[in-house]
Structure 1
């Protein structure tokens, strides 16, 4: 029988106030990514997380009230890291097409380095539905904003709707799963090039 979970957010009183506190919280989040990624939400334990982090059990409760709350924070953290990783890769580009290519390459590289992301995000659909939905809504919003900027620059036809962004995101997610998690038989550059070709010309045969 499915268990119903509610969304959890951290209280202001649990925010780290020192560099040491930030470092400890980062250790817990990184350890949680490994624990949840390896065992899944239900089998993962707070003890296992603190052991991986090399911190005392009490340190956990300094920043999180429960495993559920940590999981919610981890989903938001991983989403923010994907955003940051992609942004750092899109500092220089010639046109909107190249920008999208760089974004997908960055995501592919991130997925290969953090393979646990797929299990964690997928599991959040049931453990923390609000964070799951927010992750994809925010990702699609960023893509849509880039598409609109590309249209304004004359690189893309317009107007491009929100649905276009969701379609591109869906393509990127499954390319990351196939060539970032299940295998690495093609490089991120090759995969991004294939996806870029679809954006550039589509796959419909020319007429006449």
Structure 2
């Protein structure tokens, strides 16, 4: 859909549709969700929905892009307050896990995207990897970490964040326990050998 300039009220309505879609896609799944259900729960007319999105897939794609942008921004802000590579990474994980407590449906929605649009699914993870790769390259240049392949390390870091968040925040609906966070950081920065 072409970009149109929206009023403040229009932006709020559009965001209300996205927030409602996040809830319903997370609860029921993409294929079981209808535009009618999104509009009914959002309290907007179906015609209003079409002022902002042409299809259900379009709102789904925008939702994933918005969620990705939102948590990446929160991570960036948290990391900017730190100076060392290790402190930045710790702050980034904390920021992600905190953000995730308010967006637990992220896991369900992203996993659905593999069936809805494989390119979107890949984009989501590649976008996250870009930030990690840049930070790892900078750390290698500063001799703050071993000169390993930055992409390999990035995807390892992503896997740790993905599954720690899934296990505690998504499945258990709690915050990541301090001892779990500390052990994950121990593995990242010191490995598992004695």
User: TM-score scaled by structure 1?
Assistant: 0.86
Deviations 1:114-135 (A, max 9, x none): 1111000000011121111000
Q: Does 2:38 correspond to 1:12?
A: no
- Select which of 130, 137, 148 maps to 2:137: 148
Between the aligned partners of 1:199 and 1:94, the Cα distance in structure 2 is 18
From 3, 7, 11, the equivalent of 1:22 is: 11
- 1:178 corresponds in structure 2 to 167
Q: In the alignment, what sits opposite 1:35?
A: 24
5 Å-filtered alignment, 1:50-199, equals: 50-183=39-172, 187=176, 189-199=178-188
CA change 1:77–1:28 in 2 (3 A) is same
Give secondary structure in 1 for the equivalent of 2:193. Answer: coil
How far residue 51 of structure 1 moved from its aligned partner, in angstroms, is 2.1
Deviation at 1:184, TM superposition (A): 5.3
Q: Counterpart of 1:113 in 2: which secondary structure?
A: coil
Whether the 8 Å CA contact 1:79–1:135 is kept in 2: the answer is: yes
Partners of 2:60 and 2:174 lie apart in 1 by 31
Contact 1:16 1:25 in 2 (8 A): no
Deviation string, structure 1 residues 140-192 (Cα, Å, up to 9, x no partner): 11111111112222221224421111111111101110111112566465433
Deviating more after overlay: 179-188 vs 145-154: 179-188
C-alpha separation in 1, matches of 2:177 and 2:44 = 36
RMSD: 1.7
TM-score (norm 2): 0.92
Q: May I ask how many residue pairs the two structures share in their alignment? A: 194
- C-alpha distance in 1, partners of 2:174/2:39? 35
Q: Is the 8 A contact 2:101 2:174 kept in 1?
A: no
Aligned to 1:198, the other structure's residue is in SS state helix
Unpaired runs of 5+ residues, structure 2, are none
Change (3 A) 1:152 1:188: farther
Higher mean alpha-carbon deviation, 169-178 vs 148-157, is at 148-157
Structure 1: which 5+ residue stretches go unaligned? 1-10
**For residues 162 and 11 of structure 2, what CA distance do their matches in structure 1 show?**
30
